[in-house]
Amino acid sequence: MASENAHNPELEGTDSTSENTDRVLASYRRELATAPLAAETVRTYTSKVRAYLIWLAATDLDGDPLTDPRTRDWAVRDYRTHLIAVAKRAPTTINNALAAIDDFYTRRGLGPAAADRLALPRTAPRALEHKPALRWLRAIQAHPATRDPVLALLPFYTRLRIAETVRLDLDDVRLSARKGLLRVHGKGDKLREVPIHPQLRTELQLWLDERPDWPCAATEPALLLNHRGARLTTRGASTVFHTIADHVALDDDITAHTGRHTFATTLIRGGTDLIVVADLLGHQRLESVRAYTQPTAADRAKAVNLLPTDR
C-alpha cells in the first residue's frame, strides 16, 4: 500500500520531483501529439495524467510504478482510493481519470492497470426540466451579443459537443428559405447531418449577417470567431456559457453538456423513436442512447413525494 507522507524515488532521481514529473509528462504529451485523438481528449488526458504523476511523486511505493506492472496496479488502485476518499471525486470523474491513466501506461508499453472502474448509478444524465429550460432560453435571448446565442443554442437544439461546435465552418451551415441543415464533424471524423431548429435558424441568420464585420471574417473559415478574428476555442466557448449562466438563477451550473442532455432527454420523453434519436446524436449503438431513458434525480424525488403523510 502507499503512504502519502513519503516520496516516490522513481520520479525523484537526481533532479527535483517537479522536474522529473514534468519530464515524464512531456514524454506522454509527445506521444499524444501523434495520436488520432480529438484536441479536447488530448487536453483531458494530459490533465488527468499530470494529476496522477503529481500524486505518485508524493507517494511511497515498493517498486517503480512507471516500469513494473505489479507496482503499477497497486499504484493505480491506491490512486483510485485517493480520488474516492480524499479528493471526493464523482464516480464518472474517477472513471475518466482511470481511462486517461490506462492510456498513459499503454503508450509506455505496460498496458492498462488491473484496476476496476466504479459502478455508475443508473440515472439519466442531468437535463433541464421544462421551466428551467425556458429560463435558460430566455437568458440566451436577452444576451446582447449576436454570436453567443448561436453558441449557447447549438448544444440545446442539436446536441453538439463543445469541440464539435467550435469545429463548425461556414460551409457546414446550409440555410434555405424555410429549412436548414448542419454538417457535423463528430468523433473519429464521422460526418452527420442535423436539422436546424427554427429558433436556432433565426439566431444563426442574425450571426451570419453580422459576421462579415468581424476581424478576419473573409479569410477565416470558422463559423464562430473570437474577437481577434480567429476560430473560437473550447475554452472561450465555455467562458461564454458561464457568462450567460451567471444571469440564470438555477440550482445547478449550466454547461454545454446540460444542453446536450436536455436535447436527448426531451426527444425521448416526447416519444421519439430511439433509432431516430441515436441518428441525431451520432451514435451507432442504441445502448449509448438508453441512458436517457433512465430515471432522473427529479423523477425519484417526485415519486417519493407521492407517498401519503398523516399530519
Strand partners, 175: 180
Q: Does the annotation mark 72 as catalytic?
A: no
Catalytic, out of 79, 187, 211, 247: 187
Q: Does the annotation mark 257 as catalytic?
A: yes
Q: Does the annotation mark 283 as catalytic?
A: yes
Q: Does the annotation mark 45 as catalytic?
A: no
Joined together, the cell numbers standing for residue 182 give 448542419
Q: Does the annotation mark 260 as catalytic?
A: yes
Catalytic, out of 161, 185, 201, 211: 161
Q: How far apart are the first and last CA of the chain?
A: 53
Catalytically active residues, by annotation? 161, 187, 257, 260, 283, 292
